[in-house]
RNA sequence: GGCCCCGUGGUGUAGCGGUCUAACAUGCCACCCUGUCACGGUGGAGAUCAGGGGUUCAAAUCCCCUCGGGGUCGCCA
């Protein structure tokens, strides 16, 4: 496969049981001048001047320039002319101050260089399938197929190092607060609710299957019953659902659970952990302190979503009352059908062209709206309007609408009339779209936000059942327990989310610790007593034996690091991610298995063609 | 399962009915070059324009199908 004649490799300069290097490339500074060093690493870039060869040598710690001069080391120089990118080399030489005027301020090691005396090629390399020394976009197929090369890029190395430091910090922080890290099993029992399970067939119990954990929820609650009091785990979780830029089939959570606490304890702990984490690993980023808190209801009203990006304004405003006074049929129809009329005010976009408006209307309709009402305010006069509904709304009504939004000259109002969830969804999408267009998202700000006071339940029209907002172990608010029997929709849950810059980073709750209440919730969710017993029997039994009040939170490590690193996809912070079809592009997993393997598991495939052999 | 975007030398892009015998940058190969650092210079090789079918006098370009990659809705308690 080599696209270049293989160069035979040389014996290392210092063979034997010690490292082939005594310094890293990135660490060399002025203080090393005069030292004889041995380095090993990859050829990052070469500059062959004919009479002299410069190589940027790269290892995990950084890059240093090494110089081959035929007058000081003829043999090394001659070998150096044959070096190519990504060759693995080892060399020894003296660290020297660069000649006056040739320092490179772009390199941390730029004041020095290594004057090479001996060179060994430890392993040559074909030309890589993409640039390793430049951070240009590469087809995702190549990134994943040649993952081991993609990871050589400095950005990916930084991301993995950041990931390490984040996890290390979390472990140290929670250790310092008296938490014990406890491992829980990966092979557990499947339960049908929630996400789809990854199943693992059992050879010793033919016809039966384990499931991989979607999260260690029941296990960590049992650890509270066991008296662990403070548990955490850097836990791998598995969900067999469709992927997104921020969703992989296996992902990592910092799973935390505490006994004898209420909401405030968990929120305080989370806030302290994240503020000190940010100060430690990315001190250049700012935060809003203390973390702003929004109730679920407040978040929906002001931002139309339960994971708002509060780095910018453009908050939603309700104009249903004004809409009722207009002659605009669309508004009236929507309100009559139980809807609302709400909108956002986009600063400075009043001069948007017909084409730009059409783009926004397209975004609105593709997200479920039937249309979008726009009101442009003239940049000359705050009472001069252009609108798609100008015929149906009076000047006075337009003025009161503009006043409702605190709109100024040159602003653009985007108004949606529909059912509340459609209105909220569309305005959330438009709000984020306009923030991107206007560059309102401050990259140096981490706007952590707690969302609290979620409803416990949500009616599902499709299944004609109550769904839980979080999971079925979340406790209802004490004062709402009586409502469970006659007004479940009004019951508040002791559930909270951590949101940052529009991403949900964590989710947790205070749990139920009494069997009776837990059973009541299961029943409300539509489980029969047989189902409850079969799926949750041992868990419910555990609650009977002196389960302490407890609660916790699960924090998404991948998303946290993605945001910290400024990446658009969690694939950039995971060493070996899967593609959109959940395929491992390096090893080609999942794959067919042999007839023998299936026989051992007493499995038959419906479509026999997909068996190997 | 739905919708959207993408697929052109190794890589990243341009070209969007005729000027394409496919352009540019970089990489690759050869030669020159002793202070460069995205070194520079000269020359060269390298693409059945993802695959298949269709429309047309003419297709990288328009249409359909398939494959592959990405985004998103549903889904993710």
Q: Which residue has the tokens 């004004």?
A: A322
**Nearest residue, CA→C1' of B41:** A49
d(CA A296, CA A294): 6
Any atom of strand B under 7 A from CB of A4?
yes
Residue A2: the pLDDT is 37
A110 touches strand B (CB under 7 A): yes
**A370-404 confidence digits (pLDDT tens):** 889 999 999 998 889 999 899 999 999 999 999 99
Which token pair is A241?
A: 């659902």
DSSP string, A476-537: BPGGGGGGGGT-GGGPBB-EEEEEETTEEEEEEEEBP--HHHHHHHHHHTT--HHHHHHHHH
Beta strands in A305-392 (DSSP E): 317-318, 340-346, 373-377, 385-387
Whether any strand B atom is under 7 angstroms from the Cβ of A585: the reply reads yes
If phi over 0 gives left and psi between -120 and 50 gives alpha, with beta otherwise, what is residue A439? left
Q: What is the ipTM of this complex?
A: 0.94
Task: Please give the model's pTM, rounded to 2 decimal places.
Answer: 0.94
**pLDDT (tens digit per residue) in A163-214:** 999 999 999 999 999 999 999 999 999 987 789 999 999 999 999 999 999 9
Nearest nucleotide (CA of A72 to C1')? B34
A188 touches strand B (CB under 7 A): no
CA-based Rg of chain A, rounded to a whole angstrom? 30
Residue A130 approaches strand B within 7 Å at CB: yes
- The Cα A57–Cα A80 span in angstroms is 12
Span A211-251, pLDDT tens digits: 999 999 999 999 999 999 999 999 999 999 999 999 999 99
C-alpha A242: how far from its chain's center?
A: 15
**Are A598 and A605 contacting, i.e. CB atoms less than 8 angstroms apart?**
yes
Residue (of A163, A141, A168, A138) closest to A153 by Cα position:
A138
pLDDT tens digits, one per residue of A471-521 = 999 999 999 999 999 999 999 999 999 999 999 999 999 999 999 999 999
Å: A366 CA to B18 C1': 39
Q: How far apart are CA A40 and CA A200, in angstroms?
A: 43
What is the DSSP secondary-structure string of A545-605? TTPPPEEEEEEEHHHHHHHHHT-SSGGGGSSS---TTS-BTTTTBS---BHHHHHHTT---
Residue A316 pLDDT grade (very low, low, confident, very high; cuts 50, 70, 90): very high
How many angstroms separate the CA atoms of A473 and A469, rounded? 11
How far, in Å, is the CA of A547 from the C1' of nucleotide B75? Answer: 34
Could you read off the pLDDT of A584-594 as tens digits, one per residue? 999 999 999 99
DSSP run (H or E) holding A325:
helix A320-325
At residue A160, does pLDDT exceed 90?
A: yes
Token reading at A208: 């039966």
Predicted confidence at residue A6, as pLDDT, reads 45
pLDDT score of A366 = 84
Instruction: Provide the pLDDT confidence category of residue A18 given band limits of 50, 70 and 90.
Output: low
Q: What is the pLDDT of residue A8?
A: 55
State whether the beta carbon of A11 lies below 7 angstroms from any atom of strand B: no
Q: Is the CB of A184 under 7 A from strand B?
A: no
Q: What's the CA A359/C1' B57 distance, rounded, in angstroms?
A: 39
Strand partners, A450: A293, A498
Q: What percent of chain A has pLDDT over 70?
A: 96
* C1' of B25 to CA of A62 (Å): 27
Residue nearest to nucleotide B40 (CA to C1'): A49
DSSP summary character for residue A55: E
Residue nearest to nucleotide B3 (CA to C1'): A366
Q: How far is CA A14 from the centre of its chain?
A: 44
A189 C-beta less than 7 Å away from strand B: no
Closest CA to A490 of A451, A444, A456, A448: A456
The bases of strand B with some atom under 7 A from any protein CB are 1, 3, 10-13, 26-29, 32-40, 68-77
Provide the pLDDT for residue A1. 34
- Beta strands of A202-249 (E only): which ranges? 209-211, 230-238
How would residue A460 be classed by pLDDT, with cut points 50, 70 and 90?
Answer: confident
**Region A444-448 average pLDDT:** 97
pLDDT category, A606, cuts 50, 70, 90? confident
pLDDT of residue A191: 82
């Amino acid at each position: 496969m080599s696209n270049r004649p293989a160069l035979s490799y040389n014996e290392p300069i210092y063979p034997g049981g010690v490292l082939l290097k005594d310094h890293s490339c990135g660490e060399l500074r002025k203080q090393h001048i005069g030292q004889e060093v041995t380095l090993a690493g990859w050829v990052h870039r070469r500059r062959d001047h004919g009479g002299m060869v410069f190589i940027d040598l790269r290892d995990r710690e950084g890059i240093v320039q090494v110089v081959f001069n035929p007058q000081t080391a003829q043999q090394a120089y001659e070998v150096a002319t044959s070096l190519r990118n990504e060759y693995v080399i080892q060399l020894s030489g003296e660290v020297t101050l660069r000649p006056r005027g040739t320092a490179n301020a772009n390199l941390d090691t730029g004041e020095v260089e290594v004057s090479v005396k001996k060179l060994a090629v430890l392993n040559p390399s074909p030309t890589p399938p993409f640039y390793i020394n430049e951070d240009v976009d590469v087809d995702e197929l190549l990134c994943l197929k040649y993952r081991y090369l993609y990871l050589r890029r400095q950005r990916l190395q930084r991301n993995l190092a950041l990931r390490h430091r984040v996890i290390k910090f979390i472990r140290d922080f929670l250790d310092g607060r008296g938490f014990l890290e406890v491992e829980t099993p990966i092979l557990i029992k499947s339960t049908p609710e929630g996400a789809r399970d990854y199943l693992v067939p059992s050879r010793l119990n033919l016809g039966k299957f384990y499931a991989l954990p979607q999260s260690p929820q029941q296990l960590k609650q049992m650890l509270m019953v066991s008296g662990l009091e403070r548990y955490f785990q850097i836990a791998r979780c598995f969900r067999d659902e469709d992927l997104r830029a921020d969703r992989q089939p296996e992902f990592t959570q910092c799973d935390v659970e505490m006994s004898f606490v209420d909401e405030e304890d968990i929120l305080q702990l989370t806030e302290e952990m994240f503020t000190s984490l940010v100060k430690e690993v990315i001190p250049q980023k700012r935060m809003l302190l203390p973390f702003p808190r929004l109730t679920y209801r407040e978040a929906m009203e002001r931002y139309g979503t339960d994971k708002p990006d509060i780095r910018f304004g453009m908050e939603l405003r309700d104009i249903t009352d004004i809409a009722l006074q207009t002659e605009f049929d669309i508004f009236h129809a929507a309100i009559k059908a139980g809807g609302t009329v709400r909108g956002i005010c986009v600063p400075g976009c009043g001069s948007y062209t017909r084409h730009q408006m059409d783009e926004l209307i397209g975004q609105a309709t593709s997200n479920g709206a039937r249309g979008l009402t726009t009101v442009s305010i003239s940049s000359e006069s705050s009472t001069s309007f252009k609108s798609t509904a100008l015929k149906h709304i009076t000047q006075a009504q337009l003025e009161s609408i503009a006043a409702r939004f605190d709109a100024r000259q040159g602003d653009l109002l985007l108004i949606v009339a529909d059912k509340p969830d459609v209105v909220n969804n569309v305005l959330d999408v438009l709000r984020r779209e306009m923030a991107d267009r206007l560059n309102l998202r401050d990259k140096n700000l981490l706007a952590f936000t707690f969302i609290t006071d979620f409803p416990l339940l949500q009616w599902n029209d499709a299944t004609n059942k109550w769904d839980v907002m979080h999971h079925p172990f979340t406790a209802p608010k004490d004062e709402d327990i009586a409502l469970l029997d006659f007004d479940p929709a009004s019951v508040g849950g002791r559930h909270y989310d951590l949101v940052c810059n529009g991403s949900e980073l964590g989710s947790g709750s205070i749990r139920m610790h009494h069997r009776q209440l837990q059973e009541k919730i299961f029943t409300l969710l539509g489980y029969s007593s047989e189902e409850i017993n079969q799926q949750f029997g041992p868990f419910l039994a555990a609650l009977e034996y002196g389960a302490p009040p407890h609660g916790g939170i699960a924090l998404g490590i991948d998303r946290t690091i993605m945001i910290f690193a400024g990446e658009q996809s969690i694939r950039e912070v995971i060493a070996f991610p899967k593609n959109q079809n959940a395929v491992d592009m390096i090893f080609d997993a999942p794959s067919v298995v042999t007839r023998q393997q299936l026989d051992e598991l007493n499995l038959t495939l419906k479509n026999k063609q997909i068996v190997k052999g």
